[in-house]
Amino acid sequence: MTATKPRLTSRLPAVGTTIFSTMSALAQQHGAVNLGQGFPDFDCDPRLVDLVTAAMAAGHNQYPPMPGVAALREAVAAKIERLYGHRYDPDREITITAGATQAILSSILALVHPGDEVIVLEPCYDSYGPAIALAGGIMVPVALTPGSFSPDFAAIASALTPRTRAIIVNTPHNPSGATWSAEQIRALEALLAPTDVILIADEVYEHMVFDGAAHQSASRFASLAARSVVISSFGKTFHVTGWKVGTVAAPAELTAEFRKVHQFNVFTVNTPMQHALAAYLSDPAPYETLPDFYAAKRDHFRAGLARRTPFELLPASGTYFQCVRYGGLPEPMASMREQDFCRWLTTEIGVAAIPLSAFYAEGFEQQLVRFCFAKREATLDSALERLATLGDRRS
């Protein structure tokens, strides 16, 4: 008997291996310093690990409630109120997720219907487009202003149509490191006020805003909070990206729809980590000291780049990413496409970076690459030693 193979039609035919996986594999193959993928190479606070161990020993090893452990939801609501002045109901408006990417996907699946348009500000995190496609929505890319990566409100306004269901805003911004000001958030608030558009606010780097500035969360602004799904990440904040624990804060009616998808997506999130995080959040110091912690790494890395390389440094007011322009290098490097330059940098110089063009749906060449400085000082110094050899290649 001849068996017939099932016919396969991909839901995401244009999606392949992410640039992050590709560059990390290339870095490993060539022994390069990996400043590409955005994760720390240092450990979290040992106290947090001790709290997980204590939670396991205390028997917190079975399913938690679907929305998350009550103590953690209460701690998240208290933190948001303390920082941004908005009180979410822990029972009806806070949900613990399996990381921010799951939160983004579940938000879009819950709120976007086939044919709905979703405005995405590019460059952007690469999960947005596939999530919209899985929901049957239509991604409407709007470019942030090249160089400054500030919002172009005239372009956003032009992209709004009766079919616009949502807009995704990421601040602090991956990949550029730019942050939105209060004035820019108010401009968005005014633009959306006469519409029924939902704001999906990706705020996973909320505690990495530098130079004395405050993070402008959508939660700070009453009319925005009323239409927003606000997403954050414990993995980014506490250097535990492998734990995959995030949060969603949203009005009760949006949360109810979100949880319908969440419960059939992951249902819930690992129990001992939730109990540990709830206890850890009782002390605000770990996230209050985070801006200075990462600003010191940024300043160390930027100083080395400015002193020892021909790169042009873009401003970095948030996140743990630094973008640089490589047009000051001699030919043929200066004219390379960004992805080719990153491959060359990895294989020939021994430092991995990510091309900015990978964050645009159709690609956009600006001679820009992104480095991650969430690394030990020794790692950054090793990368700087290798990048310093670029100075010998000036024309």
Report the DSSP pairing between strands 164-170 and 117-122. Answer: parallel
| pLDDT at residue 175 in the model | 97
Tokens representing 249?
């804060």
Residues 197, 216, 108, 160, Cα dihedral to 10°: 30
CA distance 107 to 202: 11
Kindly give, in sequence order, each residue whose CB lies less than 8 Å from that of residue 10, ignoring residues fewer than 6 positions away.
none
- The structural domains of the chain, ordered by start, are 19-44+289-393 (3.90.1150.10), 46-287 (3.40.640.10)
The burial class, CB within 10 Å (0-12 / 13-18 / 19+), for 175 is buried
Q: What is the pTM of this model?
A: 0.95
CA distance 255 to 286: 28
Residues 212, 218, 219, 223, Cα dihedral to 10°: 130
Per-residue pLDDT of the chain in tens (395 residues, 90 and over written 9): 788 888 888 999 888 888 888 999 999 999 999 999 888 999 999 999 999 999 999 999 999 999 999 999 999 999 999 999 999 999 999 999 999 999 999 999 999 999 999 999 999 999 999 999 999 999 999 999 999 999 999 999 999 999 999 999 999 999 999 999 999 999 999 999 999 999 999 999 999 999 999 999 999 999 999 999 999 999 999 999 999 999 999 999 999 999 999 999 999 999 999 999 999 999 999 999 999 999 999 999 999 999 999 999 999 999 999 999 999 999 999 999 999 999 999 999 999 999 999 999 999 999 999 999 999 999 999 999 999 999 765 54
The burial class, CB within 10 Å (0-12 / 13-18 / 19+), for 344 is middle
CB 338 within 8 A of CB 391: no
